[in-house]
Chain A
Amino acid sequence: MTYDFNWAVLIEYKELLTDGFIMTLKLSVIGIFLAFIMGTLISLMRVSKNFFISLIGVYYTEFFRNIPLIVQMFFIYFTFNLTDIFPFLEKFASFTGVESSNEFFSALLALVTYTSTYIAEAIRGGIHSIPKGQEEAAKSLGMSYIQTHFLIIFPQAVKIAWGPITSQFINLIKNSSLAMTIGVAELTFQTQEIDSLTFRGFEAATAVTLIYLFLTLATSSFMGVIERFALIKTGGMK
Chain B
Amino acid sequence: MIKKSITALIALTLISSLAFADKLADVKKAGVLKAGVKYDFKPFGYVDKTNKVVGFDIDLLNYIAKKLGVKITFQQVTSKTRIPLVASGKIDIAAASMTHKVKRDETIDFTISYFFDGQAILARADAKEKSYKDYENKRVAAIQGATSGENFKRVQPKAKIVYFQEYPQAIMALKKGKVDAITTDLVWCSTQAKESNGAFKVIGSAFTNEPYGMGVAENESNFKDEINFAIQDAVRDGSYSKLYKKWFGKEPEKLPEVWPK
Contact = CB atoms under 8 A, between A and B. Distances in A.
A199 B84 CA distance: 8
A192 interface: yes
Category for how many chain B residues contact A:
20 to 34
B144 A193 contact: yes
A56 B145 CA distance: 44
Contacts, number: 48
Given A77-B178, A100-B162, A103-B162, A192 B106 contact: no
A189 B87 CA distance: 21
Say what secondary structure dominates the interface of chain B: mixed
A199 B80 contact: no
Nearest to A196: B145
A183 B176 contact: no
Interface stretch (B92-100, B110-118, B165-173): B165-173
B177 A189 contact: no
Report, as a range, how many residues of chain A touch the other chain. Answer: 20 to 34
Contact of B144 (A81, A192, A201): A192
B106 A199 contact: yes
Given A192-B80, A193-B144, A199-B83, A102 B178 contact: yes
A196 B144 contact: yes
Interface string A158-188: 0000000000000000000000111101000
Given A100-B162, A102-B178, A181-B165, A199 B107 contact: yes
A196 B80 contact: yes
A189 B162 contact: no
B135 interface: no
Given A182-B169, A196-B80, A199-B87, A189 B163 contact: yes
Given A192-B144, A199-B83, A201-B84, 14 more contacts: A81-B176, A180-B165, A181-B165, A181-B169, A182-B169, A183-B141, A183-B163, A185-B163, A192-B80, A195-B84, A196-B144, A199-B84, A199-B87, A199-B106
Interface of B: 79-80, 83-84, 87, 106-107, 139, 141, 144-145, 160, 162-165, 169, 172-173, 176-178
